[in-house]
């Protein structure tokens, strides 16, 4: 081999080995085991383009799911992320054929919902090309997505999980329309079958009772909650304050005594499920319910639905004692330098009562995206070219001097 080509060959080999190493490590998925108890830091990880995909880097079990960004502006397209039960491991939800970004001209991104045990994410879908719809479930422990076709619905909008995470209540409606409502179904994760709730009519919101035997549901614009047996549709009505709606899929308190309703994010009211029990006083300035720490302590969003207490850059989630209306911060989500909106918060409600609050945790976003890693390797190789050329020139100069006789290099010997 020519000595002139040796440095370039060496540089090429270094580049080849570097790219091969990046590709090899990128192909190895990272897996994290679920923690014994969930950890809740004061501040969750904020938005970042360096967040790895859940599909290749599972987190074992998630504590929080939320969406960052609203779109359709470039750089602000919605990104749905899950935060592991350690409070610091964060992954981006990308599920193959299922997308959490809105299709063209959609009124809103497809809804998503985290199961109470933190192991499954339900993703809303539209009608398939075959005329049915799909219930899409993402396994947080493996990153894999299972899509189950259900007939007779224009789409799937997940509303509520049963407390044991074995059933999902959803409405058959286009998942990307504003305020979707439609017939109510219950999907059994074990049997992979969906069953319509008899006599439910069009439903906009639903929540399971703590034992999973009943569903509280509400029709669009109705001033009553219908509490029914999902198998038979039989049940009773509970009146609610005018204009208030069921406050999310976790609205039913764990002791079964109260169901939370809200007034467009301005206040929370609590409807007793047992006759004769007095209702707690309303809690003003509060948003939708995300879960409960006990029968008396509710976890909820900030009233502004994303910008709490006039504090720029943070979205706060609070805990409130319904007996005293005393509130305190539970955790916050930073919006980042770009002011990303935070929406569609969903918590693993079964993990909340034993969750351990901490000041902070180390953030783990997983390996950098593969294109970025390849770019860095190629860039490093290109930056090393001047040094390679310099070494080549020094090598050639050394060879030239070595070829000159010693007496010719020493002028004193002339």
Q: Torsion angle of alpha carbons 116, 120, 121, 122, nearest 10°?
A: -90
Where are the domains positioned within the chain?
Answer: 1-30+370-396, 32-239+337-366
Inter-residue contact 206 to 193 (CB < 8 Å): no
**Structure tokens that stand for 368 in this block:** 């950098």
* 3-state secondary structure labels for all residues of 16-74: HHHHHHHHHHHCCCCCCCCCCCCEEECECCCCCCCCCECCCCCCCCEEEEEEECCCCCC
Q: Is beta strand 112-114 parallel, antiparallel or unpaired with respect to 120-123? A: antiparallel
Question: Looking at beta carbons, which pairs linking 99-102 to residues 24 or more positions away fall under 8 Å?
Answer: 100/67, 101/71, 101/77, 102/71, 102/72, 102/78, 102/176
In the beta sheet, which residues pair with residue 387?
A: none
Run of H or E including 374? helix 370-403
- What pTM does this model have? 0.80
> Cα(78)–Cα(73) distance, rounded to whole angstroms?
10
CATH assignment of 32-239+337-366, among 1.10.3470, 3.30.60, 2.60.40, 2.120.10: 2.120.10
pLDDT per residue as tens, the chain (414 positions): 555 555 555 555 555 555 555 554 444 445 555 567 899 999 998 878 888 999 999 999 999 999 887 654 444 456 899 999 999 999 998 853 444 555 554 546 778 999 999 999 999 886 665 667 888 999 999 999 999 888 767 889 999 999 999 999 999 987 777 788 999 999 999 999 999 999 999 999 999 999 999 999 999 999 999 999 999 999 999 999 999 999 999 999 999 999 999 987 678 999 999 888 888 999 887 788 999 999 999 999 876 544 433 355 788 999 999 999 999 999 999 887 666 778 889 999 999 999 999 999 999 998 866 665 566 656 655 665 565 556 566 666 666 666 656 655 555 555
Query: What count of other Cβ atoms lies within 10 Å of the Cβ of residue 336?
Result: 15
> Cα(381)–Cα(383) distance, rounded to whole angstroms?
5
Instruction: Determine the longest span between alpha carbons in the chain, in angstroms.
Output: 120
């Amino acid at each position: 081999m020519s000595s002139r080509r040796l440095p370039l060959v060496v540089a090429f080999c270094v580049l080849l080995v570097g790219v091969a190493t990046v590709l090899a490590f990128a192909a190895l998925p990272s897996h994290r085991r679920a923690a014994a108890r969930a950890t809740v830091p004061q501040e969750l990880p904020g938005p970042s383009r360096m967040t790895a995909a859940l599909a290749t880097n599972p987190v074992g079990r998630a504590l929080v799911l939320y969406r960052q960004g609203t779109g359709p502006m470039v750089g602000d397209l919605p990104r749905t992320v899950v935060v592991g039960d350690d409070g610091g491991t964060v992954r981006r939800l990308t599920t193959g054929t299922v997308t959490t970004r809105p299709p063209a001209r959609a009124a809103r991104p497809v809804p998503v919902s985290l199961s109470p045990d933190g192991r499954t994410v339900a993703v809303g879908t539209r009608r398939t090309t075959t005329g049915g719809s799909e219930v899409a479930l993402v396994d947080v422990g493996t990153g894999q997505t299972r899509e189950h076709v259900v007939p007779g619905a224009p789409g799937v909008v997940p509303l509520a999980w049963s407390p044991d995470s074995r059933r999902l209540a959803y409405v058959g409606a286009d998942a990307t329309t504003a305020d979707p409502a439609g017939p109510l179904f219950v999907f059994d994760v074990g049997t992979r079958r969906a069953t319509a709730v008899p006599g439910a009519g069009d439903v906009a919101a639903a929540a399971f009772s703590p034992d999973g035997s009943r569903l509280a549901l509400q029709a669009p614009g109705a001033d009553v909650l219908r509490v029914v047996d999902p198998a038979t549709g039989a049940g009773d009505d509970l009146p609610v304050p005018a204009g208030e709606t069921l406050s999310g899929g976790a609205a039913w308190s764990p002791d079964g005594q109260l169901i939370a309703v809200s007034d467009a994010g301005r206040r929370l009211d609590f409807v007793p499920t047992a006759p004769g029990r007095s209702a707690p006083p309303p809690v003003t300035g509060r948003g939708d319910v995300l879960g409960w720490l006990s029968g008396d302590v509710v976890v909820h969003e900030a009233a502004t639905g994303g910008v709490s207490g006039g504090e720029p850059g943070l979205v706060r989630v609070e805990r409130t004692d319904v007996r005293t209306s005393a509130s305190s911060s539970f955790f916050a989500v930073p919006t980042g330098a770009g002011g990303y909106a935070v929406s569609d918060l969903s918590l693993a409600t079964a993990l909340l009562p034993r969750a351990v609050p901490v000041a902070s945790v180390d953030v783990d976003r997983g390996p950098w995206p593969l294109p970025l890693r390849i770019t860095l390797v190629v860039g490093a190789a290109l930056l090393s070219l001047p040094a390679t050329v310099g070494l080549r020139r020094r090598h050639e100069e050394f060879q030239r001097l070595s070829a000159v006789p010693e007496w010719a290099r020493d002028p004193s010997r002339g």
